[in-house]
Structure 1
Amino acid sequence: MDLPDSSDLSRRDYLRALVAAGGTAALSACLDSSGESTVPTGDPNARPQRQHAWTDVLATDEDGNPLNPEHHVLLSLELATDVDDDSREQVETALRSLESAYAYDNQGLLFTMGYTPSYFDALGVDSPIPEPEALTTIESPEFDDFDALVHLASDTPDVVLEAEEALFGDVSPNNTEMEATFEGVFDRGSPRRTGFVGAGLPAQHTDMSGVPESVPEDAPFFMGFRSGFAESQAPESRVTIEEGPYAGGTTTHVESLTLQLRTWFEQDNHFQRVAKLFSPDHAENEQVGSVGENLSTSTGVAGEITEDTATDAREFGTVGHAQKAARARDEDGTPPLLRRDFNTVDGDRPGVHFLAHQRQIEDFVRARQAMAGEDLAGDGVGQRLNNGILQYIFVRRRGNFLVPPREKRALPTARV
């Protein structure tokens, strides 16, 4: 992939474009632009056993909502050798080397390593997670069928680039020796996916054909509103596997979406966008603000607004995405998903990599089908039209992953 031209971009856009490009040349250009890294080194023994345990070390916004790191890489991997004690030790040593190189926080490196059903099929053991499949009648996605996925995340752009290259022996991360790499155990797979989160970042992509000038200047996500409110996120304990050989781990689903932003911003006004993203009640009572700043730590959809979903569909001819999704919450009101999704411009088009952790993939399926609202179609809303935000999002890919606890993250082989 060609490197971006720094003269045509702001510094922040340039750094994000370099993360999207990947490779040692992009890393070198990133270091030249951002200067020498000041990220502290880390201690593998200080990291928790749950790979997905990021919340306690994430930064927070002014309301106390956890902030997803700004830069992300989803690195696909293909198994290149037999799984045995030697290859398992090599992978674990490589991962511990990364943990030694970077601090365990959003300025350093946060990462998870997960495995697909294809990996377990290659080993000849039953997969602990199901194959991905289409979850609604209005999608026909491609499926992730490589073997493993590493999710790299940091507020520091050169960290995710450097960590990726270090796994294959091309650099010494943060001036720290890699005692082993993935070389010979894994090959790089496809697709390589990247993205970003941050207030004002989506609006800096209005030079792209699919991103209109009307994206709010301070919006952190392409749809124009804040996301990841603490009340609408599952606690890490809710998404942690409780029993069996992978107790302490979690599952991950990655749903890659294309966004129809011009229609979203130029066909609908702010009132309609609030009604479709949150609920008609939110729009009527002006609860949200310009980008969701009035919502503090809660979307406010739980309870009566969720219970009124079908009624709102009939009476208003519109139903909100958030109120539909809340129908999948546990009986005590706890959300089943811990979302760590992010914007993307992969393929030079605006989108979202919707990454969610949950105890079992069935939890994601239940939540995603609630979001789809197919049960509401014909009851005042269409299958897509005015049915939340379905008119503006299109599923391209799906993938299911087992994320074991750290002690079993290196080429797991347990039978279930």
Structure 2
Amino acid sequence: MTLPDRSALSRREYGRALVAAGGAAALSACLDAIGEPEGDRAVPTGTDDPSSLPERQHAWNESLSTDADGNVRPAKHHVFAALSLDIDDVDEDARATTEDTLETLERAYERSADGLLFTLGYTPSYFDRFDGELPDSVDLPEPEPLAPGEEPAFDGFDAVLHLASDRPEVVLEAEAGLFGERETLDGTAFEADLSGVFDRLPERRRTGFVGEGLPADRADVSGVPESIPADAPFFMGFRSGFAESQAGEDRVTIDAGPFAGGTTQQLSSIGLQLEQWFGQENHRQRVAKLFSPEHDEEAVGEVGEALGATNGLTDERVAATGDHARERGVVGHAQKAARAREDGEPLLLRRDVNTVDGDRPGVHFLSLQREIGDFVRVREAMTGADLEVSTANSGIRHYLFVRRRGNYLVPPRSLRALPPAAPDAAG
């Protein structure tokens, strides 16, 4: 891939563009842009004892900072590396190689946004190779269309490695080191790499970014209008990930069976019609369609900053969804989805990111949940097929197009290296 023109971009824009480009040349350019020798960078180092790290791969929240309202701040730069198994049989040598490689990352980088956060998740296709079956405590069906008119492609490869950091050079060099393209990471030597276990699928590599101002920086990409608020962290123009509207890590964790401590992950790649969203709707209409028609513009703010730690979906507003559809002719995206709450509690922990993969705006919608069925219920509630309202006024459905979807099991850390389908039976 051609590297971006540094002279035309700010340092922040340049780092994001290099992550999207990927590869050794992008890493070299990124390190050059930092202007510091590799060994002198202030990247916090990891642990000498990786076994001391949390058993939950997905337990990131305590390693991330929070904003003034208590909302978790996601890491800024993300890579989703698609992997296909490159061995005939999964044996203990392959598992040891995989684990040794992942532990190198943990020794090299602190488990934080200033260092590196990562998870390794596996598709249903990966587990199909084993004689045993996944236990009943794991709900991991093949992905499928979930709304009228959806025709997404599905992730049929074996695994996805999600790398996240506030530092663009960290996700790039971690990705390079994992596949034998870098011998050391800040002085930590790779004793093994994944190149003899997995093949990377560059055509399925995905990248993303989150952060105030980053979406507005991409107005040079076709389909990204200049009218995106300058400090919006997401392409749709509003904050997301409100603390009181997110499931906790306990709620999304599998709590029984051999994969207890793991979670399921759903990853959808979604195209966005931003020119219509910002060109056809005013701020009041965008607030109504994203949140609810009862949300007051001033109580939301320009980018949702006035909402604090909640999206403002009270039980009363959620219960009124059907009435709003019939009487007001419009319902909110978050309002519809909130109907799937259980005992008032959200089911999903969202960690979605903006993307301009393929030089077009979109979102990689990543959600963690105890079982994929939880995601399906929320997705059906968000679709709102039961509501008496046009698609154009049914939240943001009119502006979203699902292009790809995958379901994954993110095992507990002790089983992250090529797990069998039935760990108990495997001994």
Matched, 1:330 2:342: yes
Structure 2 counterpart of 1:179:
191
Aligned with 2:407 (options 388, 400, 412): 400
Residues of 1 paired with 2:329 and 2:286: CA distance?
14
Structure 1 counterpart of 2:270:
257
Residues of 2 paired with 1:105 and 1:76: CA distance?
22
Residues of 1 paired with 2:265 and 2:197: CA distance?
22
Residues of 1 paired with 2:335 and 2:44: CA distance?
42
Structure 2 counterpart of 1:356:
367
Aligned with 1:370 (options 375, 381, 399): 381
Once the two structures are TM-superposed, the CA of residue 275 in structure 1 deviates from its matched residue by 0.1
Contact 2:133 2:421 in 1 (8 A): no
Contact 2:265 2:366 in 1 (8 A): yes
CA deviation vs aligned residue, 1:188-214 (integer Å, no higher than 9, x gap): 024000010000111111111201111
Alignment of 1:99-114 (within 5 A): 99-114=106-121
Number of matched pairs: 410
Once the two structures are TM-superposed, the CA of residue 124 in structure 1 deviates from its matched residue by 4.0
Structure 2 counterpart of 1:38:
42
Letter in 1 for 2:82: S
Matched, 1:152 2:163: yes
Structure 1 counterpart of 2:244:
231
Letter in 1 for 2:372: I
Residues of 2 paired with 1:11 and 1:62: CA distance?
26
Matched, 1:294 2:306: yes
CA deviation vs aligned residue, 1:39-59 (integer Å, no higher than 9, x gap): 121112332000000001101
Once the two structures are TM-superposed, the CA of residue 178 in structure 1 deviates from its matched residue by 1.0
Contact 1:239 1:357 in 2 (8 A): yes
Letter in 2 for 1:261: L
Structure 2 counterpart of 1:345:
356
Residues of 2 paired with 1:195 and 1:292: CA distance?
21
Once the two structures are TM-superposed, the CA of residue 236 in structure 1 deviates from its matched residue by 0.2
Q: 1:228 aligns to what SS in structure 2?
A: coil
Aligned with 1:271 (options 284, 287, 302): 284
Letter in 1 for 2:28: S
Contact 2:227 2:278 in 1 (8 A): yes
CA deviation vs aligned residue, 1:52-83 (integer Å, no higher than 9, x gap): 00001101112110011000000000000120
Once the two structures are TM-superposed, the CA of residue 302 in structure 1 deviates from its matched residue by 3.0
Q: Provide structure 1 residue ranges, at least 5 long, that are not aligned to the other structure.
A: none
Structure 1 counterpart of 2:17:
17
Q: Provide structure 2 residue ranges, at least 5 long, that are not aligned to the other structure.
A: none
CA deviation vs aligned residue, 1:131-165 (integer Å, no higher than 9, x gap): 00001112110000110110000001100001101
Matched, 1:162 2:173: yes
Structure 2 counterpart of 1:71:
77
Residues of 2 paired with 1:302 and 1:29: CA distance?
48
Structure 1 counterpart of 2:2:
2
CA deviation vs aligned residue, 1:164-185 (integer Å, no higher than 9, x gap): 0111111122221012110110
Q: 1:385 aligns to what SS in structure 2?
A: helix
TM-score by length of 1: 0.97
Once the two structures are TM-superposed, the CA of residue 414 in structure 1 deviates from its matched residue by 3.6
Letter in 1 for 2:277: W
Contact 1:302 1:326 in 2 (8 A): no
Residues of 2 paired with 1:213 and 1:23: CA distance?
30
Structure 2 counterpart of 1:143:
154
Residues of 2 paired with 1:174 and 1:134: CA distance?
43
Structure 1 stretches of at least 4 aligned residues deviating more than 3 Å after TM superposition: none
Once the two structures are TM-superposed, the CA of residue 411 in structure 1 deviates from its matched residue by 0.3
Residues of 1 paired with 2:321 and 2:52: CA distance?
45
Q: 1:291 aligns to what SS in structure 2?
A: coil
Residues of 2 paired with 1:103 and 1:70: CA distance?
16
Letter in 2 for 1:155: D
CA deviation vs aligned residue, 1:295-346 (integer Å, no higher than 9, x gap): 0000110310000000011111000001111101112x11110011000000
Matched, 1:93 2:93: no
TM-score by length of 2: 0.94
Residues of 2 paired with 1:288 and 1:368: CA distance?
24
The answer to which of 304-313 and 200-209 deviates more is: 200-209
Structure 1 counterpart of 2:320:
308
Contact 2:64 2:72 in 1 (8 A): yes
Q: 1:375 aligns to what SS in structure 2?
A: coil
